[in-house]
Structure 1
């Protein structure tokens, strides 16, 4: 175990200036705070630098640390703490580790055990793919062959060549060049590609074996088909890449779901990549703006950023700027002093900015914020302080702000409905959440999540048939995940049978479209336009009800190639996918 030794012990009464001098002179990253001879907290260099503006104040330190020994530390890998102080047998602190380092070292130990098992498996795999292993003496005489040898490389049973000289077999044209000859000449491990008499390429590896006098005694030769080796290397590399990818995804999911009852369910590459962005963004304090259509789950992503950030243990406060009347919005955001206006509470009220102090404030539908409040929001972001209604003293705040909108803020700036200076303050890190219709791979796992939730809630065991699931995947979902949840719940309530079919969903999704486009003409239009419009309407209705183009062709009484050509021609104008 590698623990850090760059620390110093200071008294709890030490001020910030003295602590900074200690860190700089000793070139350390961590201070251990003691009181009455016992550690009571820790303060790393980052948090100490945050206090540099108050040099004469006592050092503010964290108390979320643990005391442990080097042999017990990994048993605490799943505990919540910032730092672990490591003691020796006498109780003296000899080093420290942060929680992430403990977790990583713990994972390394676990992976070491896994790698041991993997090594055993790989040895078995390698042994099984070797076409031949043989041993020759220092003169090239074949003395042993492996029991896994086949006739593929020699054209004969290898056991029949025991006792023959492998150099003579090379001269007879059985293979060339000889790896044995090169090992004898260079006295080191040699790898070459041979061509055998059957026209195959063989990777031959010769390993010299020396005795105690450093004299060449044996040569162990492993020969195998080079195609099989390349395939194994590619598969092994792919497995390593996938393992690392899944490990990162699991790590992110563990942290996102911790303390968050609402889960981000996904399988698509778009959201996987977005989650990696969320993890990176969460580490910094920059303002984030989430863009996405209504119902895509912007609040869930805001909560994920909060949960992955250093502020995770502090408040996450949300306000929808479009759902509160303008005359009340200012008091909700900034609060008010007692007697500030008629009807105000006698003791005044804290605003959401104040309630979110040390945590995260999520301003949903930021585009709905009135212009007069945009000015106050800009000041709060820039100055890191707020003024209550009726107040005369500014209140300092330390919050992270995340905003979200389904509007184009740049267009609003050009139209004069959104302040340009505020736009640049909140548009530091924009994240774009794709609509559900652009990530079809997410629909099925989300549906299963809702099924499980409502089955438990309604004490039922309902499920979607295969064709019903295909309908869900091909629908456009203008209301995104919120609409998908609504349709899932409605289907489970109104369907009498346990299995929800495609016909059940069509009644829900298409009940207002059945007579939406009747074949009627009320004005003169080109005949070709009328034909195309009718074809499009028929194809759209059929695709909503049936899951394959083959079935659509059957019910429309045309050939499958005809319907395929029609689909490719009209797919960009269809309301289903």
Structure 2
């Protein structure tokens, strides 16, 4: 058999060479064995704890708290996090040792310094928070890309959208066709707490009245001839926890107006042919280009539903009333559509002027479609006015410095090519100087280098504003 001295030597060797701080106390809490190399985390020297009990060290604030003292009291294994005087965070685990009679005779504890791990955890948490912040900023930038504007009216609308998106209030978007109501509706959704749930867009004018109820509320199996075998989920149900956007709400049939009002009030609905009520939770956004108040007076729209929907009305002005946005939208769409079709086409200044002066009855949608048409149908890299549709190309402009340049009206000798070219060059420089904020922007617009712009403007000093 191994002698007690040998057992003690082995035990001392295990404790002293361990990477953990191992401490063994007797049944009264006095330290019998420990690893002296690890007590630096508690800020004391080995001679300070020799012959002392864990209760004394706890009283002195060195062990806060003492895990061995806790095991002596509870007589069960314990694991805790300790904070030391030196600012360290340690994880301690202690186990009771019993003799053959079940009496507690020893407590063995293990301590690991967790300070660096905790720091890494904190740093990781901060990094995750930063990543979330960056992701939020990226999402905001993406949302801003959807809405291209410069006018103060649109800035105010964007602020209002941001403010109300944080609530569940029902929003009604008002404005002519093509002003971007669906874009604003989606922005309401993406900025809301429902952004990770569905955004269901329904154009009320495109669903036949006979199918409206089954499309909106779904149906159970065998509800009618031609129904799907297992039934169908409706658009309202698909929007659960998300946002339901009803575009052209003025086209909603009267009987569907009643059902929609009941859903908004009760937050419940039944499928066609079904008896079971389904709970529903969605944020409602509507849009219309019609005067709903007049429709209410004519009996074509329910007054009670109108009040339900008209909580936060947002009027989006037509493009012709926010001319500051026209130029930036033209440039934006040129860039996007050129990239889409891998082209590099530009507008002649005369073409640009005509588009700026157009009334845009179809608003943003008309502008987008026209730019795409011009890029796809024009043969040259510079889109001149003759490429424009007839209703645009033939419109009249007042005689002024802002009027499109007409070569036929130049008062120069037909043979004097140099003078004619100089007049065209001056006119284009003058137009670019009015439309651009810097010579760099002018260079990009004219398709020449910035030094060339500066040189040409000096050439016509006094004739072209610098």
Short-chain TM bin: 0.5 to 0.7
Report the equivalent of 1:297: 180
Q: Deviations over 1:274-318 (max 9, x none)?
A: 100000010110111000100111100000000000000000000
Using the alignment, how far apart are the partners of 1:556 and 1:499 within structure 2? Answer: 22
The 5-angstrom pairing of residues 92-241 of structure 1 reads 103=133
Q: Deviations over 1:221-252 (max 9, x none)?
A: xxxxxxxxxxxxxxxxxxxxxxxxxxxxx98x
**Structure with larger Rg:** 2
Contact 1:335 1:350 in 2 (8 A): yes
1:510 aligns with 2:365: no
Cα shift at 1:256:
4.4
Report the equivalent of 2:270: 387
Contact 2:397 2:403 in 1 (8 A): no
Report the equivalent of 1:54: none
Using the alignment, how far apart are the partners of 2:397 and 2:179 within structure 1? Answer: 27
The 5-angstrom pairing of residues 317-328 of structure 1 reads 317-328=200-211
Q: Choose from 223, 234, 244 the match for 1:351.
A: 234
Q: Choose from 253, 262, 277 the match for 1:370.
A: 253
Cα shift at 1:461:
0.6
Report the equivalent of 1:431: 314
Quick check: 488-497 or 331-340, which moved more?
488-497
Report the equivalent of 1:206: none
Task: Give the total of aligned pairs.
Answer: 293
1:484 aligns with 2:367: yes
Using the alignment, how far apart are the partners of 1:276 and 1:486 within structure 2? Answer: 28
Using the alignment, how far apart are the partners of 1:493 and 1:549 within structure 2? Answer: 27
1:79 aligns with 2:131: yes
Report the equivalent of 2:283: 400
Report the equivalent of 2:113: none
Q: Choose from 535, 542, 553 the match for 2:397.
A: 542
Report the equivalent of 1:267: 150
Gap change, CA 1:547 and 1:356, over 3 Å in 2: farther
Using the alignment, how far apart are the partners of 1:325 and 1:550 within structure 2? Answer: 48
Contact 1:463 1:499 in 2 (8 A): yes
Q: Deviations over 1:408-466 (max 9, x none)?
A: 11111111100000000010010111111111111222222221222122221101122
Cα shift at 1:365:
0.2
Contact 2:242 2:282 in 1 (8 A): yes
Secondary structure at 1:349 match in 2: coil
1:461 aligns with 2:315: no
1:449 aligns with 2:332: yes
Using the alignment, how far apart are the partners of 2:326 and 2:204 within structure 1? Answer: 29
The 5-angstrom pairing of residues 269-288 of structure 1 reads 269-288=152-171
Q: Deviations over 1:484-526 (max 9, x none)?
A: 0111011112211101123433x45436xx5xxxxxxxxxxxx
Contact 2:354 2:404 in 1 (8 A): no
Report the equivalent of 2:76: none
The 5-angstrom pairing of residues 243-254 of structure 1 reads 254=138
The root-mean-square deviation of aligned C-alpha atoms, in Å, is: 2.9
Using the alignment, how far apart are the partners of 1:425 and 1:319 within structure 2? Answer: 18
Using the alignment, how far apart are the partners of 1:407 and 1:430 within structure 2? Answer: 13
Contact 2:218 2:232 in 1 (8 A): yes
Using the alignment, how far apart are the partners of 1:400 and 1:428 within structure 2? Answer: 13
Using the alignment, how far apart are the partners of 1:396 and 1:547 within structure 2? Answer: 65
Using the alignment, how far apart are the partners of 1:322 and 1:550 within structure 2? Answer: 41
Using the alignment, how far apart are the partners of 2:187 and 2:247 within structure 1? Answer: 15
Secondary structure at 2:397 match in 1: helix
Question: Which sections of structure 1, spanning at least 5 residues, go unmatched?
Answer: 1-36, 38-66, 81-102, 107-249, 515-539, 558-577
Cα shift at 1:468:
1.9
Using the alignment, how far apart are the partners of 1:468 and 1:546 within structure 2? Answer: 16
Gap change, CA 1:547 and 1:499, over 3 Å in 2: farther
Using the alignment, how far apart are the partners of 2:309 and 2:302 within structure 1? Answer: 11
Q: Choose from 349, 353, 366 the match for 1:470.
A: 353
Question: Which sections of structure 2, spanning at least 5 residues, go unmatched?
Answer: 1-78, 80-118, 412-466
Contact 2:218 2:271 in 1 (8 A): yes
Contact 1:256 1:304 in 2 (8 A): no
Instruction: Output the TM-score relative to the length of structure 2.
Output: 0.58
Using the alignment, how far apart are the partners of 1:467 and 1:495 within structure 2? Answer: 15
Report the equivalent of 1:28: none
Contact 2:173 2:313 in 1 (8 A): yes
Report the equivalent of 1:314: 197
Using the alignment, how far apart are the partners of 2:400 and 2:233 within structure 1? Answer: 56
Using the alignment, how far apart are the partners of 1:352 and 1:550 within structure 2? Answer: 51
Secondary structure at 1:401 match in 2: strand
Using the alignment, how far apart are the partners of 2:268 and 2:329 within structure 1? Answer: 41
Using the alignment, how far apart are the partners of 2:152 and 2:228 within structure 1? Answer: 50
Using the alignment, how far apart are the partners of 1:397 and 1:262 within structure 2? Answer: 32
Q: Deviations over 1:355-374 (max 9, x none)?
A: 11000000000000010100
Secondary structure at 2:286 match in 1: strand
Gap change, CA 1:448 and 1:508, over 3 Å in 2: farther
